[in-house]
Amino acid sequence: MSVPQAIFWVMAVLAVLGGLGVVASRQPIRSVLSLVAVMLSLSVIFLELSAQFVFAVQVIVYAGAVMVLFLFVVALLGPMRERPTTHLRFQWGLSILVAVVFGGFVYALLQGVGFRAPEANVAIDTLGTVEQIGTGLFTTYLYPFELTSILLLVAAVGAIYLSRGGRTASEVHRREEEEDRSA
């Protein structure tokens, strides 16, 4: 086993453990932190696969910024434990079954999968450098890139609209009462 393979295995195990943590943690904050672990291990694999820039983005923006947003929300809303529920008991088993079948299907698909030949004129060494990414984003993919920026803008506006003040539970209650009185 070569060094890169060893690194991959270690990171893969870490990622799967992290994934289990995401699903199985009782407290949301642990799920979020497990996801950060998954992301970090994946970023290493990205680096192995010569995606240097994406690696940086994954660590800084994704694991750094986005997950911090999650943490922030969790902190804002406080700890929430899932209470035992009477609804949809069957769903638990059914979900596991569906997931296993799904995984089985994909595994079956992977058997005998054929790979196409890589593009010969591109060297793997230069793939994924900042220069290449920049050229790609600002020439061929300028249009989708700008569209993504608009998407972010829309998301920001939407988030601001949704979280604007004046709609707390007590206030809504009060307004409903006022409407009842006037009606």
Partner 1 sequence: MPDYGQIQVGSGTLDARLVLGLAVVLFVLGAVGVLIRRNPIVILVCIELMLNAANLTLIMFAAQLHNLEGQLFTLMTMTVAAAEAVVGLAILVDIFRVRDVDDVDQLSELRG
Partner 2 sequence: MALQAVALALLLLPAAGALILALSALSISRRVVRLLGPGVVWLGFLCTLVLFVDSLQSGGPHDFSYWTWIRSGAFSLPANLLVDRLSVFMCLVVTGVGGLIVTYAVGYMDHENDASYARFFCYMDLFIFSMLLLVLAGNFVFLIMGWAMVGLSSYLLIGFYYWRYSAVAAARKAFVMNVVGDIALVLAAFAIFAQYHQTTYAGVFGALPRADDPWVEVIGFLLLVGGIAKSAQLPLHTWLPDAMEGPTPVSALIHAATMVTAGVYLIGRMHPIFDLAFWAHSTAALIGAVTALVAATIGIVQTDIKRVLAYSTMSQIGYMFLGVGLGAYAAGFYHLLAHAFFKALLFLGAGNVIHAMNDEQDMRRYGGLWKQLRPTSICFLIGSLALVGIFPLVGFFSKELILGDAFSKPDQGGFPQVMWAVGFLTAVLTGFYTGRMWWIAFWGEPARDRPVEHPHEAPPVMLVPVVILTVLTCIGGALQVNAGFDIPWRQVEDFLSPVVGPLPWSPRGLEWIPTAATLLLGGVAFLAAYNFYVSRVWRPWSAAVPWLQRLLERKYYFDEIYDAVFVRTMDGVANVGDRFLEEPVIDGAPTGVAAVAEAGAGTLSLTQSGYFRTYVLVFVGGALLGLAVILLARTAG
Pick left, alpha or beta for residue 169 (phi over 0 → left; psi -120 to 50 → alpha; otherwise beta).
alpha
- 96: contact with partner 1 by CB under 8 A: yes
Which one among 101, 151, 152, 156 touches partner 2, defined by CB under 8 A?
101
Shortest CB 16 distance to partner 1, Å: 6
Based on the number of CB atoms within 10 Å of its own CB, is 62 exposed (0-12), middle (13-18) or buried (19 or more)? middle
- 105: contact with partner 2 by CB under 8 A: yes
> Which of partner 2, partner 1, none has residue 138 at its interface (CB below 5 to 8 Å by kind)?
none
Of 55, 38, 52, 46, the closest CA to residue 4 belongs to 46
Contact 38, 19 (CB under 8 A): yes
Q: How far apart are CA 73 and CA 83, in angstroms?
A: 20
Q: How far apart are CA 85 and CA 51, in angstroms?
A: 44
- 87: contact with partner 1 by CB under 8 A: yes
| Contact string 62-91 vs partner 2 (x = CB under 8 A) | -------------------------xx--x
Which one among 130, 154, 174, 178 touches partner 1, defined by CB under 8 A?
154
Binding-site ranges for partner 2 (CB under 8 A): 87-88, 91, 94-95, 98-99, 101-102, 105-106, 108-109
